[in-house]
């Protein structure tokens, strides 16, 4: 990847994070994936050097005060090191799901959680998706019922919750007012920061067998009258959807960075193989049928890179510049996530094909990255929903759903 045009902060982050990642070779990630083994040593190494607080303000205990532009670079560097989506996902929620907490949490909530998250003592998961709502987040049905004696009782089911097996905390979006009773469609959901206390009644986790990044657990989470204290509520009751919207553009940028890292890793490995693998007495890279698709994949990644860091910069600058509207940031962040995910897919697929039969062997890593490159196309928002969004918001076409 060309490194020209990045800021000094971004380059410093890239160099320092690369040094941490270098302790975790591809064989480490192969084993995590093959044995469904949590990369806890990797999480601890990043926490030890303070990286989990990269995008939290310095005023919040232990935060580095950098922006999403630097956090995106960190996530790209992690994925590009060979850790792929597996490495990125093992810390993703710690970086991202703490954003709404940092902005809307009370002093007590911040003091009692953030230092433990940054230090790596506690891991975090993000509980939004539900089996019966899908991408229609406003239809979430997991409820948090206020108890007369104080506190809340949570009942319902979440699905695809990454790291729930190892997390001590969940940032949970749950319904506090029935959908029929809300004044506006965006109201009625509330955000909570809760303990995942497996010794308490009413909480059950079920690990999902999945295609890639198998070291990082994904789960169904079942709540049945699960009690949480009154001070778990983050921000205003019934306003949780708006609160998480605040962090969604940041998450799109981080995901775009992760996809880019994966794509560049696959492309570098493919180019190396194409230079050295000799068939018909010449390197396979001499064949344009091999070289051109790799050149094409490179340009797609470079285009997506510009879109990604443009979106991250707009996100950061919009905090102090009211002339940068949030819908402008939204269009940029969604477009970047879409382009980076598509470019990563192209690069990972070409990397497998360039390796021929060896593309199918675990030892060469590209099969692992190919399995993982589907994730940024699906989550946290699918490519179809981004196309819907651009059609409606930019092209002013009628809403299709
Ligand atoms: C590896 C992984 C990790 C994840 N981690 C988390 C996590 O930590 N926390 C969390 O809360 N969630 C997580 N998710 C969930 C993820 O965000 C959702 O899977 C994603 O948002 C898609 O939702 P869905 O699976 O319910 O798809 P559905 O809503 O069921 O959609 C299925 C398909 O239909 C399409 N579709 C639906 N409606 C329309 C429409 N109107 N127009 C066009 N197409 C449409 C979608 O684009 C998609 O292709 C994770 C998912 C994966 C795969």
The predicted model gives 124-150 an average pLDDT of 96
Residues 6+ apart with CB under 8 A from 92: 75, 162, 254, 258
> How far, in Å, are 3, 130, 214, 324 from residue 191 at the CA level?
39, 15, 28, 27
Instruction: Assign 97 a pLDDT band (cuts: 50, 70, 90).
Output: confident
* Overall domain count for the chain: 3
Among residues 81, 102, 118, which one ends one of the domains? 118
Nearest partner of 258 among 32, 90, 37, judged by Cα:
90
Residue 27 confidence class, pLDDT cut points 50, 70, 90: very high
pLDDT of residue 365: 98
Ligand 1, CB within 6 Å, residue ranges: 125-129, 134-135, 160-162, 218, 375, 378-382, 384-385, 388, 401
Question: 2 in a domain, yes or no?
Answer: no
Average pLDDT of the residues in 326-350 = 97
Whole-number Å distance, alpha carbon 255 to ligand 1 midpoint, is: 14
Mean pLDDT (whole number) for 227-253: 94
Provide the pLDDT for residue 22.
98
Q: What is the mean predicted confidence (pLDDT) over 31-59? A: 95
Do 362 and 387 belong together in one domain?
A: yes
Q: Which value, to the nearest 10 degrees, does the dihedral of the CA atoms of residues 174, 178, 182, 186 take?
A: 30
Q: In the listed set 192, 220, 237, which residue is the last one of a domain according to the structure?
A: 237
- Same domain? For 76 and 153 the reply is no
Please tell me the distance between residue 133's alpha carbon and the centre of ligand 1 in angstroms.
9
**187 and 300 belong to one structural domain:** no
Nearest-atom number in ligand 1 for the CA of 401 is: 41
Instruction: Give the mutation target among 123, 170, 171, 380 for probing the ligand 1 site: most ligand atoms within 8 A of CB.
Output: 380
Can you give the residue range of the structural domain that contains 70? Answer: 8-118
Ligand 1 midpoint to CA 97 (Å): 18
**Chain centroid to CA 76:** 11
Q: Are residues 211 and 107 in the same domain?
A: no
- Which tens digit of pLDDT belongs to each residue from 47-79? 999 999 999 988 877 889 999 999 999 999 999
| Ligand 1 center from residue 380 Cα (angstroms) | 7
The protein residue with its alpha carbon nearest to ligand 1, atom 27, reads 134
Q: Which of 135, 376, 391 to mutate to test the pocket of ligand 1 (most atoms within 8 A of CB)?
A: 135
Nearest residue to 194 (alpha-carbon basis) of 157, 219, 175, 168:
168
260 and 363 part of one domain: yes
Please give the pLDDT value at position 3: 84
pLDDT at 246 over 90: no
Q: Same domain, yes or no, for 111 and 207? A: no
Q: What is the pLDDT of residue 62?
A: 82
User: Pick from 214, 237, 260: which residue ends a domain?
Assistant: 237
| Cα 171 to Cα 103: distance, rounded to the nearest angstrom | 13
CATH number at residue 152: 2.40.110.10
**Cα 261 to Cα 391: distance, rounded to the nearest angstrom:** 28
User: Closest ligand 1 atom to the C-alpha of 130?
Assistant: 26
Q: Does residue 331 sit within a domain?
A: yes
Q: What is the atom index within ligand 1 of the atom nearest the CA of 128? A: 11
Q: Are 345 and 242 in contact (CB under 8 A)?
A: no
**Average confidence (pLDDT) over 169-175:** 97
Tell me what pLDDT residue 135 has. 95
- pLDDT recorded at residue 168: 96
What does the mean pLDDT of the chain come to? Answer: 96
399 in a domain, yes or no?
no
- Summarised one tens digit per residue, pLDDT across range 174-226 is 999 999 999 898 999 999 999 999 999 999 999 999 999 999 999 999 999 99
| Residue 307: pLDDT band with limits 50, 70, 90 | very high
Same domain flag for 213 and 292: no
CATH of the domain at 355: 1.20.140.10
Share of the chain above pLDDT 70, in %: 100
């Amino acid at each position: 990847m060309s490194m020209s045009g990045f800021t000094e902060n971004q380059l410093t982050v890239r160099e320092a994070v690369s040094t941490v990642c270098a302790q975790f070779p591809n064989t480490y990630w192969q084993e995590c994936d093959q044995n469904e083994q949590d990369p806890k040593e990797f999480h601890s190494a990043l926490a030890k050097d303070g990286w989990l607080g990269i995008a939290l303000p310095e005023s919040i205990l232990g935060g580095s005060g950098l922006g999403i532009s630097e956090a995106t670079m960190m996530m790209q560097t992690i994925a590009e090191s060979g850790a792929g989506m597996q490495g990125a996902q093992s810390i993703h929620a710690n970086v991202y799901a703490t954003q709404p907490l940092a902005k809307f949490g009370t002093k007590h909530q911040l003091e009692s959680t953030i230092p433990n998250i940054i230090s790596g003592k506690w891991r975090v998961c993000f509980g939004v998706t539900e089996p019966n709502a899908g991408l229609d987040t406003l239809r979430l049905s997991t409820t948090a019922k206020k108890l007369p004696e104080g506190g809340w009782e949570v009942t319902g089911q979440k699905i695809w919750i990454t790291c729930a097996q190892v997390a001590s905390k969940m940032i949970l979006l749950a319904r506090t007012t029935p959908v029929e009773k809300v004044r506006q469609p965006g109201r009625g959901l509330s955000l909570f920061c809760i303990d995942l206390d497996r010794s308490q009644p009413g909480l059950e986790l079920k690990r999902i067998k999945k295609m890639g990044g198998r070291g990082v657990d994904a789960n169904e989470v079942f709540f049945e009258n699960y009690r949480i204290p009154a001070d778990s509520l983050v921000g205003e009751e019934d306003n949780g959807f708006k609160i998480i919207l605040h962090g969604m553009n940041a998450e799109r940028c981080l995901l775009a960075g992760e996809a880019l890292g994966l794509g560049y890793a696959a492309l570098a490995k493919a180019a190396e193989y194409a230079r050295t693998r000799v068939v018909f007495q010449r390197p396979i890279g001499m064949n344009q049928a091999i070289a051109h698709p790799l050149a094409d994949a490179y340009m797609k990644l470079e285009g997506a890179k510009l879109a990604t860091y443009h979106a991250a910069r707009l996100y950061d600058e919009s905090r102090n510049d009211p002339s940068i509207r949030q819908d402008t940031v939204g269009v940029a962040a969604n477009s970047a996530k879409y382009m980076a995910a598509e470019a990563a897919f192209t690069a990972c697929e070409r990397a497998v094909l360039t390796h021929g039969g060896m593309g199918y062997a675990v030892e060469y890593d590209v099969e692992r990255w190919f399995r993982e490159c589907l994730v940024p196309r699906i989550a946290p928002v699918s490519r179809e929903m981004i196309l819907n969004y651009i059609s409606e918001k930019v092209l002013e076409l009628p809403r299709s759903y």
